[in-house]
Structure 1
Amino acid sequence: MKLRFSKMHGIGNDFVMLDCRQQPFALRESQIRDIADRHAGVGFDQLISIEPPRDPSCAFYYGIWNADGTPSGQCGNGVRCVAAWLHRAGALAIGDTVRLESPSGPVTVRLLGPAEVTVDMGVPVFEPARVPFLAEAEAASYAIEVGGETLQIGAVSMGNPHAVVVVPELGAPSLFRQGPLLTTHARFPAGANAGFVQVLGRDHLRLRVHERGSGWTLACGTGACAAMAVMRRRGEVDDRVRVELPGGVLVIDWAGPGHTLWMTGPAAFAFEGEWLGKTAAR
């Protein structure tokens, strides 16, 4: 099997991009896992297919798969890479605003430069049933048992479920135990991305994210949006926040409940390649 691809990343959150505009996406879950292997494959946090839109109001559709082969509903760093990829392909010009279709629904992107994109990530969803998160009523904070400890979390969907935990310091060993447990917690029926956030000021957050299906990542765009949304809803940050992740910085703007949230950040090409299949790769 020969498969042409582009390797891209958004502040370290890396992707294999597939051009499926003329041919349908047809990879099996096992093939996705093979390509994701960072030793015998290409390696990625998510694989993204760029396809014709299902929704006629959108210019293109993009599909998202995690490194374990499972589908994902949204990826903030990934959609910026989609916009930059479309620019390189001649389908999007600098200054253009275009509506794209994600697995979770339409998003609007604006190409600020060849490697700088701002994205309308939609209205954050806090209603537990829609996250989904098992809770009797909506609240700004929930007590949840994780590995014998009680954590206070915020629960929100930014196209995929997020658990947000405020911590005093991101280097605590307990975080690396709690992240995987929170990602697969029974109160998140569809799993969740676990975000640990340190508040450095009303306009500055620091974040680490353990993603469902991919593990610890250098960056998570929807995780940055989720952290800002939870903290803004609690009144602890302003309407524009710099979110510092291990791979770099994203800027998140949100006026508050009822408004859409905007994320701005870079997208970069690493290389182009051809996947030859599991046997040839090894």
Structure 2
Amino acid sequence: MEFRKMNGLGNDFVVLDARPRALSISPEQARAIADRKTGIGCDQLIVIEPSTKADVRMRIWNNEGFEVESCGNASRCIADILFAEKRKTVATIDTLGGFLTCEKGGNGLVTVDMGVPRFGWQDIPLSEPFPDTRHIELQLGPIDAPLIHSPSVVNVGNPHCIFWVKDLDIVDLAKAGPMLEHHPLFPERANISLARIDAKDHITLKVWERGAGLTRACGTGACAALVAAARIKLTHRKATVTLPGGDLVVEWRQDDNHILMTGPIAYEFDGFLPAHLAV
């Protein structure tokens, strides 16, 4: 079976097209394809399926092998495939995390309408009630002098927990990320971010992605950070979010509360799955 390798700011994907014939992806198959030593190698496996309410349905498996709801960087990549196929500048994608509308921009950029953020504790979801999710009770380090604490939480198609820091290296996110991702507060696990506010229109971000680990870029993480920051007046409603892989521009639109994310995509190569990775 053919595949296409793509990335958004270094967040990379193996894309399979299941429109000609249906595919049944097991966790073992997803892990095998994503394995960087014995497979193709990627952060996420993306499968395009037919949809009755959008141009395509997009399904996403993290490299641990479990299916997740949303991926902002992958959405831009799939949108660019659709732009070329359909020779148009607007594409729609149906995901577990919601319905997305994507628009082709200049200079290889794609804008995705990520929908409306959700702030209710039960929508994120959290395992216990928090009346105000702008800050929740969670910390790492000594009780009387925690290294990070009082994160904001939000669901932007998937759950995110953002710690506000002045130093992005205050904790080793490669070590702290797995523990926080699996914290009992997060029944569906969570993406964990360290966010530094550089200006009212600029955030620098490091993300431990749920089921994928440290990533060069996380589109939903950038959206979550901007929305959470604007909600507590740390930034304007539009800002550049800098990740290790590059910049995304995120706007939390005032009139309808939709999140718009703009960034680049890149094609790496096409190929055929070897026999041991057959699906």
Query: Aligned residue for 2:181?
Result: 183
Match of 2:124 in 1: 131
Matched, 1:141 2:135: yes
Distance 2:176 2:137 in 1: 14
Code of the residue aligned with 2:80 in structure 1: it is: A
State the AA in 2 paired with 1:144.
Answer: L
| Cα-Cα RMSD | 1.8
Question: Equivalences for 1:14-163 in 2 at 5 Å?
Answer: 14-53=12-51, 56-88=52-84, 90-93=85-88, 96-113=89-106, 115-139=108-132, 140-146=134-140, 150=146, 151-163=149-161
Amino acid at match of 1:261: I
Q: Which runs of 5 or more structure 1 residues have no equivalent in the other structure?
A: none
Distance 1:173 1:136, change over 3 A: closer
- Report the CA distance between 1:279 and its aligned residue: 7.9
CA separation of 1:279 and 1:254: change in aligned 2, threshold 3 A? closer
Shift in CA distance, 257/66, structure 1 to aligned 2, threshold 3 Å? farther
Residues 79 and 92, structure 2, Cα contact 8 Å, conserved in 1: no
CA contact (8 A) 2:7 2:13 kept: yes
How far apart, CA to CA, are the structure 2 residues paired with 1:9 and 1:24? Answer: 24
Q: Hey, what's the Cα distance between the residues in 2 that align with 1:210 and 1:279? A: 27
1:262 matched to 2:255? The reply is no
Q: Deviation of residue 40 (structure 1)?
A: 1.1
Sequence identity of aligned pairs in percent? 38
> Which residue of 2 is the match for residue 278 of structure 1?
276
Aligned residues: 273
Q: Deviations over 1:157-176 (max 9, x none)?
A: 01000000011111234433
Scaled by the length of structure 2, the TM-score of the pair is 0.92
Structure 2 unaligned segments of length 5 or more: list them: none
Do the aligned partners of 2:82 and 2:91 also contact (CA within 8 Å) in 1? no
8 Å CA contact retained: 1:123, 1:257:
no
C-alpha separation in 2, matches of 1:255 and 1:43: 36
Tell me how far 1:31 sits from its aligned partner: 1.2
Deviating more after overlay: 137-146 vs 194-203: 137-146
Deviations 1:172-211 (A, max 9, x none): 3443332221111110100000011011000000001001
Q: CA deviation at 1:85?
A: 1.8
Aligned-partner Cα distance in 1 for 2:271–2:111: 27
The CA deviation string for residues 107-157 of structure 1, in whole angstroms up to 9 with x for no partner, is 111111483110100111110101101342331101214466552111100
Give the TM-score taking structure 1 as reference length: 0.91
Cα deviations across residues 27-85 of structure 1 (Å, max 9, x unaligned)? Answer: 221111111110111111111111100xx331111111100110010000010000112
